[in-house]
């Protein structure tokens, strides 16, 4: 997998979540619809974006845990989105932390996406 493919997959997954969020803000979407789109975006990130925990009890457990983690974090941000500024502030703090951690570990694509 090339860096361009990974960046494209992660960007497409992020775009899917952006469109989902805008649609959900305009009119309340059913939880099932949101879960399906979140899972598809997570699958893009994991299978084509390479967003998995590489050294975690084998590939099946790694992929499963990564998918569940991405969907869980997406839902956690969605739950706190109703309080003005809280979701954005927490996401900014997390992005800075991920960017610093990725830079320290020479994960330049992750650092660039966090910026």
Domain count for the chain? 2
CA 96, CA 36: separation in Å to the nearest integer? Answer: 28
Q: Where are the extended beta strands (E) located within 24-96?
A: none
Task: Supply the range of the domain harboring residue 96.
Answer: 84-115
More confident residue, 50 or 92: 92
Using pLDDT thresholds of 50, 70 and 90, give the confidence band for residue 37: very high
Same domain, 68 and 31: yes
Report the candidate in 14, 31, 114 with the shortest Cα–Cα distance to residue 75: 31
Say whether 10 sits in a helix, a strand or coil: helix
> Does one domain contain both 53 and 103?
no
Mean pLDDT of the residues in the chain: 86
Q: Domain check: are 54 and 89 in the same one?
A: no
Same domain, yes or no: 19 and 29: yes
Q: Let me know whether 38 and 75 are in one domain.
A: yes
pTM of the predicted structure, to 2 decimals: 0.75
| CA 16 to each of CA 11, 54, 56, 58: distance values in angstroms, whole numbers, following the listed order | 9, 25, 27, 29
User: What is the average pLDDT across 5-31?
Assistant: 89
Task: Provide the token pair at 24.
Answer: 């959900």
Query: Cα torsion at 107, 50, 48, 103 (round to 10°)?
Result: -20
pLDDT in tens, 38-75: 999 999 988 887 777 767 778 888 888 889 999 999 88
Question: Count of residues for the chain?
Answer: 115
For residues 14 and 112, is the Cβ–Cβ distance under 8 A?
Answer: no
Q: Could you tell me if 90 and 75 lie in one domain?
A: no
């Amino acid at each position: 997998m090339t860096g361009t493919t990974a960046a494209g997959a992660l960007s497409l997954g992020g775009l899917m979540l952006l469109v989902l969020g805008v649609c959900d803000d305009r009119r309340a979407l059913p939880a099932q619809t949101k879960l399906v789109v979140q899972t598809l975006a997570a699958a893009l990130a994991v299978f084509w974006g390479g967003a998995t925990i590489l050294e975690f009890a084998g590939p099946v457990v790694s992929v499963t845990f990564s998918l569940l983690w991405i969907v869980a974090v997406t839902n956690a941000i969605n739950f706190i989105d109703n309080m003005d500024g809280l979701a954005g502030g927490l996401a900014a703090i997390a992005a800075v932390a991920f960017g610093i951690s990725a830079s320290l570990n020479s994960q330049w694509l992750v650092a660039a996406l966090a910026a």
